[in-house]
Amino acid sequence: MDNSNQKGFSLVELLIVVVIVGLIASMAVPYLQKAVGRAENTKGYAGLKVLSKAQVDFYSRNNRYARLNELRADAGANLGTLSGSNLVQGVFTLTMNPTNPTNNDLLNNYEVVATKAPTLSKTPCVISVDASGMVTEVFANGCINFD
């Protein structure tokens, strides 16, 4: 029997294509994960900048900085979701330092620390903002260093 008139792909050809696609995917996934992590970190940085501007607005009206629950009530839901005394913005959890500041603590300064849980056994991304408006990295692990 002559099978030269058959059309289509052989099993070997299909297996080769599957292996090639698998190799390409295995090389692309780490870059995709890195891009997602950078996007999350950028969103956390931007969220702290928005929070800092909301703090300045609150201070101008009340002569002191706000606790996170007061700030969310004043500025609205765009600051995140309230969870106890913390705010949750995407993958970041924002906490005041100290956790429950007094009105005297908030007269001249505030500090909010944003923590992203570690992913893929990496160290967590922890950034903070204070009354100076500067967002700083607490751990030197490159969470806002976008090289």
Predicted confidence (pLDDT) per residue in 20-59, tens digit: 999 999 999 888 888 888 888 888 889 999 999 999 999 9
pLDDT-based confidence at 140, cuts 50/70/90? low
Residue 147 has pLDDT above 70, yes or no: no
Segment (H or E) for 111: strand 111-116
Percent of the chain with pLDDT over 70: 87
Q: Which amino acid is at 87?
A: L
> Helix, strand or coil for residue 63?
coil
Which comes out higher in pLDDT, residue 4 or 11? 11
Q: Where are the domains of the chain?
A: 11-137
**Lookup: tokens for 77:** 């839901």
Q: Collect all residues with Cβ–Cβ distance below 8 Å to 128 and sequence separation of at least 6.
A: 48, 97, 111, 112, 113, 114, 135, 136, 138
67 class by beta-carbon count within 10 Å (0-12 exposed, 13-18 middle, 19+ buried): buried
**Lookup: tokens for 5:** 């008139």
Predicted confidence (pLDDT) per residue in 48-86, tens digit: 999 999 999 999 999 999 999 999 888 877 888 888 889
**Lookup: tokens for 74:** 């004043």
